[in-house]
Chain A
């Protein structure tokens, strides 16, 4: 069963959202989903790049005002 997790990385500047995402994913199982909320627009590049080199899939990216949400499948 797919479990969905959230991570609040708002106000953190890159690479901290990437580090928090990386550390959170270490705790999760293959198939889980993680929704990361951030405010540094750098995550739009950095989190997908980190996912590509580590074999995770970005399912969605959404920007609302200054908040960015990235959904990842582990």
Chain B
């Protein structure tokens, strides 16, 4: 038996119920636990609420921080945006239903937690994984694969389904009592909900679509379109944030128009005026639009007519718009708004 009188665990906290329960189970065995949360850029956490005015009044919270506060543990939030690119662009185990590289993502995060554990002299890693819970990453075959490919091996403990898996180091060492762990499996959430009730947990997050934009069909389509238009599978943080705001229409392969839907998005898109051509309507109230790509003069006129279509001048004969280049140069265009039948469904990304 290993002698360590004060073992310490680092717990992957997503902000959902399972990692909250897994952490509580280990805390209740007297283990010092701290949380770790990774920000990939694709986390759903409140971004659209921050951008859209109609959502700004909603009470916002970061679920990982909320979980940590409920459990009384520290939380380390780690920016992995750059490193995550390789996971998304080159997933060894492929994608799920959309552009979600769930298995590679889990391996990546457990590996990052392992590095953190070693750097901070912690002893093992906890996750809220449950065998059979997720079709891509949480299956019986993937559990040992994650442990192996992350390099965590026997230092990875899944308290909610540990009894269905071989003993891990914390159990062998006697730090954790195996009998007090669980044997949950499958997609049924009732055992987790019952355990949450027994702990007195209320108000926890249960996002129906998961916590990652990459599992979202519409978002994945916009990302695929971005890569196709640029003829390059790559992105910067601003690229993936912009996919969360506005209507995206691509009238021609070499340019896209991002049109705000309300005041909050007007402000948000205006913040990118040094990166893209910015269009605003002058003669009528209307949206703010960014032009992404390499439009020529005719394309700009088409973009202006499209933006005018979404303004309050949509039924007017002519709408005047301001066109600002990224260098601040301004010009004006006066155009007839596109008619509804002139806006092809195929333009909508």
A residues whose Cβ falls under 8 Å from a Cβ of B: 11, 13-16, 18-19, 22, 40-42, 45-46, 49-50, 52-54, 66
Contacts and interface: CB of A to CB of B under 8 A. Distances in A.
A6 B56 CA distance: 26
A15 B69 contact: no
User: Interface residues of B toward A: which range?
Assistant: 20 to 34
Contacts of B72: 53
B60 A19 contact: no
Nearest to B56: A41
A71 B280 CA distance: 36
B39 A16 contact: yes
A6 B47 CA distance: 24
A11 to B, nearest CB: 5
Q: Which secondary structure characterizes the binding site on chain A? A: helix
Contact of A19 (B39, B51, B61, B74): B39
Interface of B: 37, 39, 43, 45-47, 49-51, 56, 59-62, 64-66, 68-69, 72-79, 241, 267, 271
Q: Which secondary structure characterizes the binding site on chain B? A: mixed
Contacts of B73: 53
Contact of A11 (B49, B59, B61, B271): B271
B65 A41 contact: no
A13 B62 CA distance: 12
A49 B61 contact: yes
A52 B72 CA distance: 10
Given A11-B271, A42-B50, A50-B65, A18 B60 contact: no
